[in-house]
Structure 1
C-alpha cells in the first residue's frame, strides 16, 4: 500500500481509544434495537402477517453477511471513517465521498425518525402535549451527552442498551408463559394461521416487510465506526460482532414470534403507527402497569438509538472533514477529543423532525422512506468494497477474523439488497423513497465534481 493510500486511514487516528468490548457490543445493540423493532415491527406485521418471521430471517441473513465483510475490513483498517474510508481506498475517492455523505444524510434523517417516535411514546402519558416540544427537550439531552467524552458516551449507551435488552428478555419470558400456559390458560400458536393463514398477503407481503426488517437491523455497522475509538480493535471488534449479531437475531425472532402468538396479527399490524405493538401485547395480557413500563422501555430504546445515530453522524462528518471534503472546522476535535463542530452540524436531523411534525401528522413514515434508500445503498457499497478489498489483498495476514466462505456471503447479501431496493421502485408505498434517494445520490455526485475532487488527498 502506498504512502498516499495509507494516509486515508492515518488521518483520523487521533481520536481517543477508550471504548471497551462490552461497550462496543451494547452500543451496537443500542443502534439496532430501537424504533425499527419496537415501532416499525407493526408496519412489517401489517404487510406480512405472521410471515413477518420469514421477513426478519431474510433481513438477519443480510445483516450477518454484511457484518462478516465489514468486520474483516475494519480489522485491516480500524478508523472512524470506516466503510467510507474503505470505499475511498478500494473503489475511488468519489465512492468514499458518496458513501460518507449518503450515510451521514441517511443517519441524520434516522435521528429525526427516532425523535418522532420519542414524541409518539410521550403522548402515551401526555396526549395533549404537542410532539415538537418533546423533540426539542430530548434533542438537547442527546446533544449534551454526545458533546462529552467518548467514554461517557459509551457508558451512557451501555446502560440505556442494558435497559431495553433486559426488557426484551422479560417480554420473551412473560410471553413464553402465556403461550404455553405457565400460570394461565395457554394461548398456543393458533394466531399464526387464524386470520388468512401464515402469509395472508402472500410472499409479496413477506418481501415488502423485509424493507422494514432491514431498517430494524440498520445501525449494526456502528461497530465498525467505533473501531477508531476502540481500546483493542483486533480483540474487541470480532467479539462484539459475534455477540451482537447472535443477540439481535434471537431478540428479534423470539420477540416477534411471541408477539404474533399472543395477539392476533391484525391487532398489532398497521400501516400507520400510533402505538408500539409491544405495548399492545402487554395490555392484552392484562398485566398491571406493564404497558406503561414497556412504553418507558421503548422510549429509552428510541433515545438510545438517537444517541448512537448522532454519534455515527458526527464521526462520518469528522471523517469527511479530515479528508478535506468539508470545511476543515468539521475535522477538528475539542479538548475532550470530541468532534464538536461535526456533532452540532449533524443535529440538523432533529430540526427536520421538528418541522415535519408541525407540517404533517405522518412524519415518521416519511422520514423512514428517505432514510432507508440511503441505508440500503450504503450496505450495497460495503459489499462491493469488500469484493474489491479481497480482490486486491487476498486474505491479509495477522487479522483476528476473516469472513468465511468468500465470496458467497458478499454476493448473496449484495443480490438480496439489489432485489429489495429495486422492489421499492415498484411499490406504491415505497416509491417515494426513490424520489428522495436518487436525487440525493445525483446531488452528492455533482457536488463531488465541483468541490470534492479538489480536496487534498
Structure 2
C-alpha cells in the first residue's frame, strides 16, 4: 500500500479501549433499562453474561484477522479477501448505512435532550450544532476523535460506577425506599430469578444483543492504532469483561435497590435511584449523561462511516470513488467523512421537516438487525482464513489465536441464528428482519448491475 494511502496511527491504548467501551454503552442503558428489566426480570443479568461471552469470542475472531495483516483499512477488507468482493460490498455498505441511521437517531434525540433545559430552542438546532462540531473534530486528526470519544465514554462510565457504588452502600445499610428496603433479596423475592419464565428470558436476548452493537468498532480503528500488536489484543481481552461488569453491575444495583416490578418504565431508573437518595438534580444529571451518550454515538458514526466509505471506494475507477478514497494531508479520509456527515445531516433535517416517527423507528430497527449479519460474516471470514492457513500449511501470522477454534466460531454463529429466531417471534422485529433481507437483495442487484455495466464497456 502506498504511503499516501496509509492512515495516521494516532490512537493510543486508552482511546481504543474507551472507543469500544463507549460504543456499546448507549442511551439504552440509561433510559431504556427499566423497560428491559420489566420484560424479563432479574434473568436479564444472565442474558447479558451469555451475550458478553459470545461478543468476546466474536472479537477474538476479529482480532486474529486484524493482526494477520496490519496494512488493511478495516475488517471489511478481510471479508472481501476471504468471502469474495460481492460479500465485502454488501457487508461494507450495510455497515455504512447502519451507522448512518444510528447517527440519525442520536442526532434527532439530542435535540429533545437539549429542550429539557431550553424548551424554546428549535429541535433541529442542537443536533445540527453537534454534527458540525464533531465533523470538524473528525477532520482535524484521528487523535482528536479518539480524545473526544475518550471523554464522552468516561462521562458514561462515571455515571454507571456511581450507581454501582450507591447500590452497594444502600444494600449494606438496608436503605428504606418507597418500595421497601434495599436488599439483595429483592432479586429473588418477586417470582425468583426467572419471574417471566423461560419465554421472558429467551425474548430478552434480542434487546440485550442490540445493546452490544458497536463492539466491533475496534475493527475499524486497527489501522490507526499506535501499536496495534499490543493495543488491539489488550483492548479485546479487557473490554468485554468491563462491559459485562458495567451492564451486570448496574442492573444488579437497580434491582437490589428496588424490586424489579417497582422500577419505573416512564423515566430513567438511574433518575429514580438518585432522586430517592436526595439528589434533587438527578434528572438534569442523567439528561446530561444521555446527551453525551448520543453525541458519542454520533461521533462513532462519523468516524465509522468515513472509514467505511474510504474502504469501499479504495482503488475504484470512477470520479466519485477516487475522490472518496483520498486521504487529507492529516491522513484522514476527509472527503469520505464530509460525504457521510452530509447524508446524516440531510436525513436528520428531513426528519425534522416531515416527522414520521414510526417510519424512522422502523428504519433504525431494520438497520440494527443488520448487525447480526455483519457479525456473522466476520466469523465466517475468520473460518475461511483459518482454512486457508491449513491449506497452505502456514501458521497464523497473528500471535492472538481464537480460543477453542473452530467450536468457538460455530458457537457464535449458532447464537446469532438463535437471536434471528427470537426476532421472528415478535411482529415488529419480524418485519424489521424482513426489511433487512430486502436490503441485502437490493445491494446484490446493484452489485450485479455494476458488474454488467463494467463488462459492457
Q: Same fold (TM over 0.5)?
A: yes
CA distance change for structure 1 residues 425 and 397 in 2, over 3 Å: closer, same or farther?
A: closer
Is residue 12–residue 79 contact of structure 1 (8 Å, CA) maintained in 2? no
- CA deviation digits over 1:5-45, x for unaligned, max 9? xx7xx799511111111211111112112223223434422
Distance between the aligned counterparts of 2:62 and 2:4, measured in 1? 18
Shift of 1:63: 0.9
CA RMSD of aligned residues (A): 2.7
Check if 1:378 corresponds to 2:378. Answer: no
Shift of 1:419: 1.4
CA distance change for structure 1 residues 21 and 454 in 2, over 3 Å: closer, same or farther?
A: farther
Check if 1:174 corresponds to 2:169. Answer: no
Which of 304, 321, 341 is the aligned partner of 2:335?
341
Paired residues, what number?
Answer: 445
Distance between the aligned counterparts of 1:85 and 1:11, measured in 2? 18
Matched residue, 1:392: 388
Matched residue, 2:111: 119
Distance between the aligned counterparts of 1:79 and 1:112, measured in 2? 31
Shift of 1:56: 1.4
Distance between the aligned counterparts of 1:40 and 1:364, measured in 2? 18
Distance between the aligned counterparts of 2:267 and 2:360, measured in 1? 12
Which has the higher mean CA deviation after the structures are superposed, 387-396 or 195-204?
195-204
Distance between the aligned counterparts of 1:455 and 1:322, measured in 2? 17
Which of 280, 285, 289 is the aligned partner of 1:293?
285
Check if 1:207 corresponds to 2:202. Answer: yes
Check if 1:97 corresponds to 2:89. Answer: yes
Matched residue, 2:236: 241
Structure 2 residue matching 1:405: 3-state secondary structure: coil
CA distance change for structure 1 residues 197 and 125 in 2, over 3 Å: closer, same or farther?
A: farther
Gaps of 5+ in 2: none
Matched residue, 2:40: 48
Structure 1 residue matching 2:8: 3-state secondary structure: coil
CA distance change for structure 1 residues 284 and 355 in 2, over 3 Å: closer, same or farther?
A: farther
CA distance change for structure 1 residues 117 and 57 in 2, over 3 Å: closer, same or farther?
A: farther
Which has the higher mean CA deviation after the structures are superposed, 189-198 or 288-297?
189-198
Check if 1:107 corresponds to 2:99. Answer: yes
Shift of 1:205: 2.3
Check if 1:430 corresponds to 2:429. Answer: yes
Shift of 1:242: 1.4
Distance between the aligned counterparts of 1:298 and 1:263, measured in 2? 22
Which of 295, 308, 330 is the aligned partner of 2:300?
308
Gaps of 5+ in 1: 1-6
Check if 1:18 corresponds to 2:10. Answer: yes
Which has the higher mean CA deviation after the structures are superposed, 198-207 or 333-342?
198-207
Matched residue, 1:409: 408
- CA deviation digits over 1:401-448, x for unaligned, max 9? 111111121111111101112321331231221232111111111111
Is residue 22–residue 153 contact of structure 2 (8 Å, CA) maintained in 1? yes
Distance between the aligned counterparts of 1:200 and 1:80, measured in 2? 48
Is residue 318–residue 339 contact of structure 1 (8 Å, CA) maintained in 2? yes
CA distance change for structure 1 residues 266 and 183 in 2, over 3 Å: closer, same or farther?
A: closer
CA distance change for structure 1 residues 38 and 324 in 2, over 3 Å: closer, same or farther?
A: farther
Distance between the aligned counterparts of 2:379 and 2:340, measured in 1? 26
Is residue 88–residue 94 contact of structure 1 (8 Å, CA) maintained in 2? yes
Q: When the two structures are superposed, what TM-score results if normalisation uses the length of structure 1?
A: 0.89
Structure 2 residue matching 1:221: 3-state secondary structure: helix
Is residue 68–residue 396 contact of structure 2 (8 Å, CA) maintained in 1? no
Distance between the aligned counterparts of 2:430 and 2:132, measured in 1? 34
- CA deviation digits over 1:127-151, x for unaligned, max 9? 5655333322222222222122111
Matched residue, 1:222: 217
Is residue 12–residue 80 contact of structure 1 (8 Å, CA) maintained in 2? no
Q: When the two structures are superposed, what TM-score results if normalisation uses the length of structure 2?
A: 0.89
Matched residue, 1:4: none
Shift of 1:281: 2.6
Which has the higher mean CA deviation after the structures are superposed, 73-82 or 414-423?
73-82
Distance between the aligned counterparts of 1:393 and 1:43, measured in 2? 46
Matched residue, 2:314: 322
CA distance change for structure 1 residues 156 and 48 in 2, over 3 Å: closer, same or farther?
A: same
Which has the higher mean CA deviation after the structures are superposed, 395-404 or 434-443?
395-404
Larger radius of gyration: 2
CA distance change for structure 1 residues 202 and 354 in 2, over 3 Å: closer, same or farther?
A: farther
